[in-house]
Structure 1
C-alpha cells in the first residue's frame, strides 16, 4: 500500500469515529466522499505510471581518445625511433631471383647440398660426365634477404644490434622437386657497444670494400666469405684510420684425417684507412690446424683497396695468401692442410683479383673482373694429381637500376681450373639477377 493509501485509510478511520457524534455527521459524510475521489485519482495515476515505458538510460561517457603516436627519424640511416623508447630501428632487405645458364660443365648437386653459384675450385673436369653436359639452366630465389638493425642511446654510448638472414642454406633432399622450399640461414647476429663487437659477422680478415661487383653470388674465389662468431676491438687512430683485432671461431680441417679439432681461436688483425680517393686495407690471420696426432700453425696475409680514378670509374683490387690460408680464401677451402702420417703439410696459396667499375649513367654501370690463384707445396702435396695447381676467372657484367628500388643485372662468367696432372675444368656461364629492395 502506498503512502497516500495509508493516509486515506487513517482519515476514513477518523471519520468513522466522528460519525458517532450527530452534530458532525453530515460534514463527515462530505469529507468521506472527497477522500474517496482522491483515492480513485491516486490509483488512476499509479496505473498510468506502471504502463508508461521506462526512461532511456543516460548515455555512457565517451572513452577518451588515445594519445597520438608520433614517429620520428632515428639515429641510423633510414630508421625510425620506436615510440616510447630511445631506440632507433631499421628494417631492410630485398627479394631476389637469380638465374644461371651453363653452356658447358656444371656441378650436378645443385638441388640438394651443392653450391649453385660459381666455385671454380670445384668445377667439374672437362673429361668428366658433369663437365661434358651442355645447356643447363637453374633459377632460385634463395638469396632473398631480411635484416634488422637497432641503435640505443646509453650512458656508455650507442648500443647497436644487427640480425640478418637469407634462404641460401643447403636444401633438404628433393626440396625443390616437391615444395620449392629453401632453408632460412643466419648470416649476421651481433651487438656493439663502444669499440667492442661481439657476435657473428664477417671475419676481421675480410675487406668487403675491395670485393668485386659481380652478378654471380660468390663472385671470384680470391675473396674471403667467412662469417663467424668473434670478439672484436677497433681502435681509431684518427678520423679516417683504424686498427681492429679479433679472436674468432676456429674451424680447421686437415685432409687425410677425420679427427680435426680446434683448441685455440683464430686471431686476426686489420689496418684500414679511408678517404674520398678510396681506401687501403692490410690484414693478417693466425690459425692452428690440429688432429689427434699433430698440430701445425698457419699464417695468412692480405692487402686490398679501392681507388676512385675518375667521376665514373673505380678500381678495386686485392691480394691474399699464406701457408694454410684455407677457408679464408674461397678457392683454397678444401686445399689448405694435409695429414701425411708423420705431420701436417700446408698448402701455400696466393691469389688476387682486380675489378674496374664504369658508370655509364646514374642508373647503369658495368664491371670488368679478373682473378688468379696459384697453389704450391712440397713434393708429396704436388704429387696429388687431382688437386688444383692454378685457377683463372673472368667476368663482364652490366647492372641497370630500373626504378628506385629495383635492379637487374646480366653477366658472362668464365673460369678454369688446372690440376697438377694438367686436367682442366672450364666454366662458361651466363648469370642474371633481379632484385627488389624493400624500401
Structure 2
C-alpha cells in the first residue's frame, strides 16, 4: 500500500471520530472529563498516524535511491589519447623501420668473389679456375632506416637515413641519407637516371643484367605538371673511379602515368669523363614501363643505351680506354634490356619470371685497345624464376633459380670465351 492511499484512508477516519465524539458523549450522558479524554486519545492517534506516514515516505525515498543505484549507468566517454610520435632532441618526429634478412646461395657455377650476389660480368670462363659447387650465406643485406619530419612555417622538412651491412667485409654502409624540402632533395638516394623501379623482382640484392641499383649523392628538383606527370632534374656524383670528376653528371627524368595500369619513365644523362690529360663527354638514355595486365599480373621492362660511361648501369665494360699519356682513345657503347612478369597467386604467394640482356657495340678500336680481352664482354644474359611465400605479413620466404652466360671479346688459353652463372638463391626476411 503506498503513502497516498494511506493518507486517503486515515484522514476520513480521524475526522469521523472527531465528529462522532460529541454525539456519542451526549447519547451516553458522558461527563466532560471523559469527552476530553477521548479527544486526547484521538489526537494521539492522529499524531501516531502522521508519524507512520512520515516513516513510509522515508522508506519509499530509500527504496527509490537504492533502485537508482542498482540501475546500470550510461558509459562514460572513452578517454581519448592521440598517438604520440617519437621525437628527436631537436623536436623532429621520426619512425624506425627495416628488416632482418638472411640470404643463402648454392652456386653450381659462378663468380669467385666471396659474396653471393650477382657477378655475371666476371664469372670465370669455362675450364679456367671455375668457381663451382659452393654454398654461401650472409646477413649483410639486413637493413635499418629512420624517417624524419619537422613542421615549419614554410612547410615540412623531411629526411631519411638508411643503412645496411654490404660494405667491405660486411661493414656498415649508407644506402640513403637525404633531406627534402618542398620540391628539392639533397643527399644520397637512387640515381635519377638508373632507377630500380622498372626492374623485375629478384631475390638477388643487386638484381640482374639490364637493371641498375645505383645510389648517388645529388641535388634534385622535381617539377609537377599535374597528378599524372612530373619532370625531375638532378646534378649527381656518379662515383666513377676511372674519371677525375670536375663537373657533376646531369640527369633528367620524365615520369608519366597514362592510366592506373600503365606508367612510363624516359631518362637522359650527360657527364664529363676526365683524365689528367684529356676529357670526353659520356651520355645515355633510358626508358622504363610498368603495365598491370590484371589486378594480379604485372609486366615490367627497362631499356638503356649508354656511350662512354660504366658508372650508372651495372655489369658493363669499362666506359673508356686511355693510352700511356692518359689520352682517351676509345669509348664503350652498349644496349641493355630487362623484362619480367610477376603474378600474385594468392595473398601469400607470388612469383616472377625475368630475362635480362646486354650487348656491347663491335668497336674494333675499343676492343684492340683492351689490355685483357677476356675481361671485357661482347654480351651478357641472365634468366631467372622465383617464388615468394608470406605465411604472415612481416615474414617473406623466397626461392629463386638463375642461369646466365657471358661471352668475352677474347678467348682464354683453352679457347673458351664463355662463362656461366648457375645458382639457386634463398632468402628469409622479417620486416619491421
TM-score scaled by length of structure 1:
0.74
The match for 1:214 among 191, 202, 220 is 202
Q: How many Å apart are 1:324 and its aligned residue? A: 1.5
Residue 99 (structure 2) pairs with residue 90 (structure 1): no
Question: Does residue 1:433 correspond to 2:427, yes or no?
Answer: yes
Match of 2:275 among 291, 304, 314: 291
Equivalent residue, structure 1, for 2:409 = 420
Following superposition, the deviation at residue 104 of structure 1 comes to 2.2
Give distance in 1, aligned partners of 2:82 and 2:101: 30
Task: Select the residue among 213, 228, 238 that pairs with 1:240.
Answer: 228
Number of aligned residues: 342
Counterparts of residues 115-194 of structure 1 (less than 5 Å)? 115-129=115-129, 131=130, 133-171=131-169, 182-194=170-182
Q: Against the structure 1 CA distance between its residues 319 and 72, is the aligned structure 2 distance closer, same or farther, given a 3 Å change threshold?
A: same
- Residue pairs, 1:26-425, within 5 angstroms: 72=83, 80=85, 82=87, 87-107=92-112, 109-110=113-114, 115-129=115-129, 131=130, 133-171=131-169, 182-254=170-242, 260-274=243-257, 275-332=259-316, 334-341=317-324, 342-383=327-368, 384=370, 385-386=373-374, 387-421=376-410, 423-425=417-419
Distance 1:204 1:153 in 2: 27
CA RMSD of aligned residues (A): 2.1
Q: 1:44 maps to which residue?
A: none
Q: Offset at 1:335? A: 2.0
Which whole-Å CA distance do the structure 2 matches of 1:243 and 1:371 have between them? 27
TM superposition shift of 1:326: 1.1
Question: What TM-score do you get using the length of structure 2 for normalisation?
Answer: 0.75
Counterpart Cα distance in 1 of 2:98 and 2:238? 29
Which whole-Å CA distance do the structure 2 matches of 1:362 and 1:85 have between them? Answer: 41
- Alignment partners' CA distance in 2, 1:241 and 1:155: 28
> Does the CA contact (< 8 Å) of 1:126 and 1:424 recur in 2?
yes
Using the alignment, how far apart are the partners of 2:198 and 2:263 within structure 1?
A: 9
Deviation at 1:206, TM superposition (A): 2.7
List gaps (5 residues or longer) in structure 2: 1-78, 412-416
What per-residue deviation string (whole Å, max 9, x for no partner) do you get for residues 184-232 of structure 1? 1111110000100001111111333202200111111322222121110
Moved over 6 A (4+): 83-86
Secondary structure in structure 1 of the residue aligned to 2:345: strand
